[in-house]
Amino acid sequence: MANNDEFCKGYFELKAQEASYFDFIRILYSSELNKRNFFDVSAGVDETIRGFRRRWLIFISIVMQRLLFWFKNPMENLGSFIELLQNYPSFNGGFLQLFFNILQGKAVRPENSSEKFMSMIGNLDVRVELDKTIKIGDIRYNRHVSIMAAKLSYENEALNKTVIQQHWQMHFLGLYNFWNAYEEQYSTQATMFQDQIEDPNLIVVAFRGTGPFYANAWITDIDLSWYDLEGLGKIHAGFMKALGLQKPIGWPKHISQEAQGQNNSKEFAYYKIREELKKILSKNEKAKFIVTGHSLGGALAILFASILTLHEEEWLLDKLEGVYTFGQPRVGDEQFGKFMMEKLKKFDVKYFRYVYCNDMVPRLPYDDKTLFFKHFGSCLFYNSLYNGKVLEEEPNKNYFSLLWVLPKVMNAVFELIRSFILPWIKGNDYKQSWSEIIFRMVGLIIPGLSAHGPVDYVNLTRLGTNLHLPQSQEGLKHD
Cα-based distances in Å from 265 to 176, 187, 389: 11, 14, 45
Phi-psi group of 464: left, alpha or beta (phi > 0 → left; psi -120 to 50 → alpha; rest → beta): beta
Alpha-carbon torsion (31, 35, 39, 45), positive or negative: positive
19 half-sphere exposure, CB direction, 13 A CA radius: 27
Which residue among 221, 228, 333, 359 is the active-site one? 359
The dihedral formed by the CA atoms of 360, 366, 369 and 374, expressed in degrees to the nearest 10: -60
Residue 462 · residue 131 · CB < 8 Å: yes
List beta partners, residue 124: none
Distance of CA 313 to the CA centre of its chain: 23
Beta bridge partners of 223: none
Helices (H) and strands (E) in the chain, counts: 17, 12
Amino acid at 47: E
Give yes or no: 295 in active site. Answer: yes
The active-site residue, picked from 23, 452, 456, 479, is 452
Q: Residues 61, 146, 295, 450: which is the catalytic one?
A: 295
In terms of Cα–Cα distance, which of 220, 167, 202, 226 is closest to 48?
A: 226
Specify the DSSP element, H or E, that contains 379.
strand 379-382
Beta-strand ranges (E) seen in 67-180 are 171-180
C-beta atoms surrounding 67 within 10 Å: 14
Distant-in-sequence, close-in-space partners of 339: CB < 8 Å, separation ≥ 6:
231, 232, 233, 306, 309
* Nearest by Cα to 377 from 387, 391, 366, 389: 391
List of E strands, 195-327:
202-207, 226-229, 233-236, 288-294, 320-326
Sign of CA dihedral 13, 18, 24, 27: negative
Burial pattern 319-333, b for ≥16 Cβ within 10 A else e, equals bbbbbbbbbbbbbbb
Active site residues: 295, 359, 452
